[in-house]
Amino acid sequence: MAAKAKKTDADEEEESEAVEETEESGEAEKPKRRFSLKLILIIVAAVAVLGGGTGAYLMFGHSKEAKPAAAVVKPPAFLDVPEVLVNLSNTGGDRTQYLKVKIVLELPDSTMQPQVQTTMPRVMDAFQTYLRELRPSDLEGSAGLYRLKEELTRRVNVAIAPGRINAVLFKEIVVQ
């Protein structure tokens, strides 16, 4: 262990003179700080910002749980419906008009095909009864076809409940 160096007389005299000078000026010597107040505030602010950013990243951005793999989307299956030919409802002495429709049902997956096939007579009955009540003016324009498509989809879903189809698609529509 190293021994402390003894103070020399010259060092002691310098210290006593410095103490006397400060006492004469009326100011007590302030102890020197290692860090200024401004430096401490800057360090505290920097730590808070870094800590907050890291905490936010860990809380919101970084998840230790394994994320589930993306669900495999099954391609839809399509089922052709027999062609439907009905005469449209007419008011008065107008000539009789006919509607010929070829329809395809869009199924969520191919496992529903047997269920829909077994209820096809119920589906065809729903189509026939609805289509016979239509007037030629009900089928005018794209809005008319959209309403027809939505109504047929609803009726198929009622007929095959609890199963559901995605959509009714038209292959051919002829009004004569």
For the segment 127-158, what is each residue's pLDDT rounded down to a tens digit?
Answer: 999 999 988 888 888 999 999 999 999 999 99
Question: What does the pLDDT read at residue 97?
Answer: 86
Q: 24-33, 41-50, 53-62: lowest mean pLDDT where?
A: 24-33
Question: What does the pLDDT read at residue 176?
Answer: 83
Query: How far apart, in whole angstroms, are the C-alpha atoms of residue 132 and residue 149?
Result: 15
Structure tokens at 86: 């009905």
Q: Are 97 and 80 in contact (CB under 8 A)?
A: no
Output the CA–CA distances (angstroms, integers) from residue 55 to 6, 44, 122, in the order listed: 54, 16, 61
Where residue 82 falls among pLDDT bands split at 50, 70, 90? very high
Where residue 44 falls among pLDDT bands split at 50, 70, 90? confident
Q: Are 152 and 86 in contact (CB under 8 A)?
A: no
Question: What does the pLDDT read at residue 8?
Answer: 55
The residues spanned by each domain of the chain are: 77-175
Q: Whose CA is closest to 102, among 176, 169, 157? A: 169
Q: Whose CA is closest to 137, among 123, 150, 147? A: 147
Kindly indicate whether the domain formed by 77-175 is annotated with CATH number 3.30.479: yes
Q: Would you tell me the crossing angle of helices 141-159 and 120-131 to the nearest 10 degrees?
A: 140
Question: What does the pLDDT read at residue 147?
Answer: 93
DSSP tally for the chain: helices H, then strands E: 5, 4
